[in-house]
Amino acid sequence: MRRFLRENSLSLFFLVLLLFTLLGQSFAGQHDHNAEQAEHGAQAISWGRYVASSDFWGAVMENWQSEFLQFSFFIAVTIWLVQLGSNESKSLENRGLESDQRQMVGGHAPQNAPRWAKTRGWRTAIYSNSLLLVMTAIFFLTWAGQSVTNWNVFNDDRQLHGEPAIDWLTYLRDPDFWEKTFQNWQSEFLAVGTLAVFTIYLRQRGSHDSKPVGAPHSETGTSG
């Protein structure tokens, strides 16, 4: 068990943080929702009902979709785009898809390589892009989830104010949907952009997201 925890400590740490923050969000969101309900003379709801509501999952999906969009973009653009001195960039001479030898594909694959890295054709093509494909698919699924759940919340709010509900396609053209979308997107692009620049000049000893402390500012794509 100790070996398992040590070898998987990074993913387990963030899983615990995810569950803890989801729980905290659910309790805080329930109280905020019930306070708003009280202002309109509506009945408060239980925690379990709130967790199953579009109000809760709309807020969750807003954050999740923007995170997966950030990773999808970063995975894709770092194939071709580089930043001199950044630890978040690969070295300038390795721009592009790189050679089969460097990527250990086909005849260059070691004996313990994944099976689809050894074969040629469509399997290797899919596996070569599997990270981007999965991240992008999750982005579109969570973005669709955000649109549906926030549409329900939007119509509930209209009902409280005595206004008629609108259909989903109409909501997709509404500023409410795009304001929620863009405010999450810009924060993700700000975060990843500043990290790429900060790693040129700043260091954190022992971190994979930092160059070695004594590395020159111009050194690109190395980890401490």
pLDDT in tens, 168-221: 999 999 999 999 899 999 999 999 999 999 999 999 998 888 988 998 999 898
pLDDT interval class at 224 (50, 70, 90): low
Taking the mean position of all CA atoms in its chain, how far away is CA 212?
27
Tokens of 91: 């070295």
CB 188 within 8 A of CB 199: no
> DSSP labels for 201-216?
H---TT-TTS--TTS-
The Cα 210–Cα 189 span in angstroms is: 19
Q: Can you tell me whether residue 91 is helix, strand or coil? A: coil
The Cα 21–Cα 201 span in angstroms is: 32
pLDDT at 162: 84
The Cα 82–Cα 73 span in angstroms is: 14
pLDDT in tens, 61-115: 999 999 999 999 999 999 999 999 998 998 888 899 998 899 899 888 898 999 9
19 phi and psi angles, rounded to 5 deg: -65, -40
pLDDT in tens, 25-47: 999 999 998 998 888 777 899 99
The Cα 61–Cα 57 span in angstroms is: 6
pLDDT at 62: 92
Q: CA neighbours within 13 Å on the CB side: how many for 83?
A: 19
Tokens of 132: 């981007």
pLDDT at 38: 87
Please state, rounded to an integer, the average pLDDT across all residues of the chain: 92
Tokens of 118: 């050894």
> DSSP labels for 35-46?
HHHHHTTPPP--
47 phi and psi angles, rounded to 5 deg: -60, -45
pLDDT at 40: 75
pLDDT at 36: 84
